[in-house]
Amino acid sequence: MQFSSLKQDAQIFDLLQKETRRQAEGMELIPSENYTSAAVMEAMGSILTNKYSEGYPGKRYYGGQENIDDIENIAIERAKQLFGAEHVNVQPYSGSPANTAIYFALLNYGDTIMGLKLDHGGHITHGLPISFSGRSYKIVPYLCKPDGWLDMDEVERLAKERKPKLIVAGFTAYPRDIDWKRFRQIADAVGAIAMADISHTAGLIAGKQLENPVPYFDVVMTTTHKTMRGPRGAIIMCKEKYAKDIDRAVFPGLQGGPHDSIIAGKAVCFAEALQPDFADYAKQIILNAKALANELKKHGFKLVTDGTDTHLILIDLTNKNITGKIAQTTLDAIGITLNKNTVPHETRSPMDPSGIRLGTPAITTRGFKEEHMARVATWINDALAHTNDTAALQKIKEEVKTFCLQFPIPNIHA
Ligand SMILES: *Cc1c(COP(=O)(O)O)cnc(C)c1O
């Protein structure tokens, strides 16, 4: 039994036990979630959290850094090796502050950024009007075509017309691979900085299943907790010529002391991703996503772009006469977790959109294979056909639970 020391806090102990049970008995299809290894968790929960180390290796504002410097340098070297990066900053607390640091480093307030519109699959930090990015910079959003595919000709036209200082490629709800070279060409044609945000697909890129933008792009950000399967956090990779500006923007520009325990977790995660079996994992994520996409189509679900190249599936539920919000709530009731999501050219609202977003990174970590995807799709379809039938949902929930318990979650604390 773990959590043994936590028992002194009965309230939190009890909730962690319940959450463990929820994760073990349910099926996690949120495409940005995953299960870290025990090694990553041990690093995250280690005594490194006791340390303060503002600054960078060899240039700290506090004493006692001999081990911390080595850990941070190892994390940097492993990330460079994994992605072929010239320079890496491993200190960003998470993806949103990392994107903010990139803008802060490379732009002036009021400069123009081009990013995919949020309800077409972009991220809040790519220019949502109410976010820091949208309020501090002039945003030129680009869109997907009515069929859900990125409109690269429109990206080119807009870039030539609006002359952005920075173009962001890389998305949070886009199921297809990205033409990095075309983005690079467009950025070059207008003299813009090319930025990639690979938060969702970094594990698939590290596992050599999708093309890596790091060699072509000026600056690349990724979170480490999604397909990378590491600790909650982010890194920024960039060309040498931007290194000083990026480092200064992260610290002291935006952050104070780095989270050393998380940096150790990043180092462990990069070592895991450098192993050959991580490529097998990345490959299986995509095989599972394609199989699940096909099974969902057999049930009449309308997939945005009609399929996926990645870990992620976006469904427009309009033809099923059900909203994303009701679908999410109904699937929660059977122990399948995913999220309601806008679809390109959304006609409803973000809190009650037309679609759902799902993905296979977490279930692939648990050991699900293609042959299991038909059952997953059938449970989703059956539940959504019985949104008001509590007895039917309860019966499906029991089936989901029995099935999931055959695939123990890693690193279980119960
Ligand atoms: C998840 C994500 C982020 C933000 O990461 P947080 O750690 O949640 O702040 C940024 N960009 C993209 C594309 C993402 O998917």
Task: Say yes or no: CB of residue 96 within 6 Å of ligand 1.
Answer: yes
Give the separation between CA 155 and CA 255, rounded to whole angstroms. Answer: 33
Calculate how far, in angstroms, residue 49's C-alpha sits from the geometric centre of ligand 1: 23
Task: Give the model confidence (pLDDT) of 232-241 as tens digits.
Answer: 999 999 999 9
State which amino acid sits at residue 113. I
Mean pLDDT lowest among 3-7, 310-314, 352-356: 3-7
Taken in order of first residue, the domains within the chain and their CATH numbers are: 41-273 (3.40.640.10), 278-404 (3.90.1150.10)
Calculate how far, in angstroms, residue 201's C-alpha sits from the geometric centre of ligand 1: 11
User: In this structure, how many other beta carbons lie within 10 angstroms of the beta carbon of residue 214?
Assistant: 25
Ligand 1 atom with the smallest distance to the CA of 200 is 15
Residue 220 backbone dihedrals phi, psi, to 5 degrees: -135, 130
Task: Give the model confidence (pLDDT) of 82-120 as tens digits.
Answer: 999 999 999 999 999 999 999 999 999 999 999 999 989
414 has a pLDDT exceeding 80: no
**What is the band of 150 on the pLDDT scale with cuts at 50, 70, 90?**
very high
Give the catalytic positions in this structure: 52, 54, 197, 223, 226, 232
CA angle 200, 202, 204 (to 5 degrees): 100
Mean pLDDT lowest among 149-158, 271-280, 294-303, 345-354: 345-354
State which amino acid sits at residue 49. T
Q: Is residue 118 marked as binding?
A: yes
- pTM for the full model? 0.97
Average pLDDT over residues 3-23: 92
334 has a pLDDT exceeding 60: yes
Q: Is residue 122 marked as binding?
A: yes
Give the separation between CA 53 and CA 61, rounded to whole angstroms. Answer: 7
Q: Is residue 123 marked as binding?
A: yes
Task: Say yes or no: CB of residue 172 within 6 Å of ligand 1.
Answer: yes
Angle separating helix axes 324-332 and 373-384, nearest 10 degrees:
110
Task: Give the model confidence (pLDDT) of 357-401 as tens digits.
Answer: 999 999 999 999 999 999 999 999 999 999 999 999 999 999 999
Q: Which two tokens stand for residue 59?
A: 């240039």
What's residue 375's pLDDT? 98
274: nearest Cα among 200, 206, 205? 206
Q: Which two tokens stand for residue 349?
A: 């609202």
Give the separation between CA 74 and CA 48, rounded to whole angstroms. Answer: 15
Three-state SS annotation for the chain:
CCCCHHHHCHHHHHHHHHHHHHHHHCEECCCCCCCCCHHHHHHHCCHHHHCCCCEECCEECCCCCHHHHHHHHHHHHHHHHHHCCCEEECCCCCHHHHHHHHHHHHCCCCCEEEEECHHHCCCHHHCCCCCHHHHHCEEEEECECCCCCECHHHHHHHHHHHCCCEEEECCCCCCCCCCHHHHHHHHHHHCCEEEEECCCCHHHHHCCCCCCCCCCCCEEEEECCCCCCCCCCEEEEECHHHHHHHHHHHHHHHCCCCCHHHHHHHHHHHHHHCCHHHHHHHHHHHHHHHHHHHHHHHCCCEEHHHCCCCCEEEEECHHHCCCHHHHHHHHHCCCEECEEECCCCCCCECCECCEEEEECHHHHHHCCCHHHHHHHHHHHHHHHCCCCCHHHHHHHHHHHHHHHCCCCCCCCCC
Q: Which residue's alpha carbon is nearest to atom 10 within ligand 1?
A: 95
User: In this structure, how many other beta carbons lie within 10 angstroms of the beta carbon of residue 183?
Assistant: 27
Q: Which two tokens stand for residue 239?
A: 């060309």
Average pLDDT over residues 333-362: 96
User: In this structure, how many other beta carbons lie within 10 angstroms of the beta carbon of residue 191?
Assistant: 10
What's residue 131's pLDDT? 92
1 has a pLDDT exceeding 80: no
Give the separation between CA 98 and CA 214, rounded to whole angstroms. Answer: 16
**Residue 178 CB burial class (10 angstroms; 0-12, 13-18, ≥19):** buried
Task: Say yes or no: CB of residue 123 within 6 Å of ligand 1.
Answer: yes
Mean pLDDT, the chain, whole residue set: 96
Give the separation between CA 400 and CA 366, rounded to whole angstroms. Answer: 14
CA distances 278 to 229, 269, 272, 365, 380, Å, are: 10, 10, 7, 10, 29
Angle separating helix axes 390-404 and 10-25, nearest 10 degrees:
90
Average pLDDT over residues 308-333: 97
Average pLDDT over residues 297-326: 97
Task: Say yes or no: CB of residue 95 within 6 Å of ligand 1.
Answer: yes
Angle separating helix axes 95-106 and 240-248, nearest 10 degrees:
110
Q: Which two tokens stand for residue 390?
A: 């509590």
What's residue 2's pLDDT? 66
Task: Give the model confidence (pLDDT) of 29-56 as tens digits.
Answer: 999 999 999 999 999 999 999 999 999 9
